Amino acid sequence: MMPRITQAQADAAAAAAARFWPEFSRRWPWTRAPALAPIYQLAGEQTVSLLRAFPALQWSNQARWYRRVVRDTPAIIALTPEALRAELSALASNVAAQPLDIRAVHTLVYLPDTDETAAAPSVAKTLLASSAQDTPLYIAQLAHEILNCFCQTDWDGQTLRSGLRRTSGALVDGETHGAALNDLLLDAMLLQYLPAATAISIHDLIESAQGPYWRIVQTLAARLRGVPALAALFGSGADTLARFENSLGTALDTPAAAIRLDSLTAAHDWTGLRSLLGD
């Protein structure tokens, strides 16, 4: 069992993040550029809000990921849409990034020093965010990727783990499992969070271009009651993932439910997902 995190502890973590945020503009003057400053402000507001909304984020070894500096580079980088595409293309050969697509916000998970040994593992996360806030559901994308950055993350010398995502090797071309299910669980969290903390309603999500996906997220969220999904995303411990997988299988009355959810979601098989979830 993961230790209980009180709301007071979550509020304290949110307050600490709010106090830290001006560091971006003090240390890196380019973050004050008119096109970029609003993104840093928005990322800060969402980080503080998410920390307050989900005390379980304090379980993670990435609870303060936003403070990390790698080679004098901040953990959050706002870019123009063109610069974002160029940056992702340049990094794709040596960074465990999410698949390159049209999303406006991406998370990079990588080893800052690939020569490090398993005895002293170190993993870094960087949030790349487009300055184009007019992208549909931009706030939802940003909140999703901030949660992604909070996921418990480690490297054992062979497998890079971030939440349920497991990549064989530290590079993007390694075999990856669990990424789609990880995203599905994060979005189930957002169904609770977005209507309470932003102007986005569940109706907005259901009626968007990704409506079929969000309907599946809504169905899954209802089936997750009693399933230790937050512990699987943000907790540690050798048996954390096993407890989640066993509990999910019981909740869905399906052997290897986690594997099936992951593969069906990755394939965008909405019909198969609705059948699995009994919708």
pTM metric for this prediction: 0.92
Residue-wise pLDDT for 235-278, tens only, equals: 988 789 999 999 999 999 999 999 999 999 999 999 999 999 98
Tokens of 177: 């499992």
Using 50, 70 and 90 to split pLDDT, how confident is the model at 91?
Answer: low
Residue-level pLDDT at 273 = 96
Nearest to 252 by CA among 214, 224, 210: 224
Residue-wise pLDDT for 187-225, tens only, equals: 999 999 999 999 999 999 999 999 999 999 999 999 999
Instruction: For the chain, give every domain's residue range.
Output: 7-277
DSSP annotation of 169 reads B
Give the total residue count for the chain: 279
Q: Which positions ≥6 away from 94 have C-beta within 8 Å?
A: 110, 171, 172
Nearest to 41 by CA among 24, 29, 54: 24
CB atoms within 10 A of CB 44: 18
* Residue showing tokens 């790349």: 128
Residue-level pLDDT at 97 = 45
Angle between helix axes 7-20 and 37-53 (nearest 10 degrees) is 170
Q: HSE, CB side, 13 Å, CA atoms: give it for residue 54.
A: 30
Q: Does position 6 have pLDDT exceeding 90, yes or no?
A: yes
Using 50, 70 and 90 to split pLDDT, how confident is the model at 92?
Answer: low
Q: Which positions ≥6 away from 61 have C-beta within 8 Å?
A: 152, 153, 154, 236
Q: Which positions ≥6 away from 224 have C-beta within 8 Å?
A: 185, 188, 248, 251
Residue-level pLDDT at 94 = 47
